[in-house]
Amino acid sequence: MKKNLINVIVGMITLMSTPALKAQSNCDELKKENEYLKKALQVTTPTKTVTSSKIDFNLISCVGNIKEQTVSLVLTLVNHDANRPLQFSRAKAIDLEGNEYPTHQISIGSGGIRNDLYTDVPIKVLIKYTKVLPSVKLFKIIPLEYYDDNSTGIEYRDITVTWK
């Protein structure tokens, strides 16, 4: 009789602890997912935003590569109007000493200098400048000229270059 009572108690403890173990496992998975989402949010959080023609131009990062002597400007564009194409024409940068750096590469998503912007869908933009020395710590101005229905442009001022 004692064995039966012990077996019943052990069985009840096992049944009661199984959901707790599963809950703990689910909790760990949620923690991992939260960490991933926090990192993703940090990567896509803009440092500056300029809005023009119902498009948010979100500056994500300005990172220099010491070995290649290049600077990569990363933006996301969010169109708050109807679907439409956008094309960059120029994107130069000027440092504090007045040195001007022309665009080496512009990529809007996978479309090069031209791509479609969909309503409220972010698309990543990479603008790359070459022959930038690591002594350049700040771009005084980065004017970006683009075409949608009209020719227009935006500018960022006082953008710090983070060298890696």
- Amino acid symbol at 40: A
CA distances from 50 to 26, 123, 136, 160 (A): 41, 15, 23, 16
Res 27: pLDDT: 81
- Amino acid symbol at 120: D
- Would the pLDDT of 142 be above 80? yes
Q: How far, in Å, CA of 145 to CA of 123, rounded?
A: 17
Tokens 């109807």 belong to residue: 82
Compute the C-alpha angle 75/159/129, nearest 5°. Answer: 65
Mean local confidence (pLDDT), 36-61: 84
Residues 5 and 78 in one domain: no
Residues 61 and 11 in one domain: no
Q: How confident is the model at residue 21 (pLDDT cuts 50, 70, 90)?
A: low
How much is the mean pLDDT over the chain? 87
Domain total of the chain = 2
Mean local confidence (pLDDT), 134-146: 97
Q: How confident is the model at residue 12 (pLDDT cuts 50, 70, 90)?
A: low
DSSP bridge partners of 91 = 144
Domain enclosing residue 32, as ranges: 1-45
- Amino acid symbol at 34: N
Residues 108 and 38 in one domain: no
Q: How far, in Å, CA of 117 to CA of 102, rounded?
A: 25
| Of residues 145, 140, 138, the one with CA closest to residue 157 | 140
Q: What is the CATH number of the domain that holds 141?
A: 2.60.40.10
H or E, element range at 93: strand 93-95
Query: Which of the pair, 102 or 2, is modelled with greater confidence?
Result: 102
Phi-psi category of residue 27: left, alpha or beta, with phi > 0 → left and psi -120 to 50 → alpha: alpha
DSSP conformational letter for 83: S
Residues 84 and 109 in one domain: yes
Compute the C-alpha angle 19/21/24, nearest 5°. Answer: 110
* pLDDT per residue as tens digits for the range 56-88: 999 999 999 999 999 999 999 999 999 999 999
- Would the pLDDT of 104 be above 90? no
Residues 20 and 70 in one domain: no
- Three-state secondary-structure class, residue 22: helix
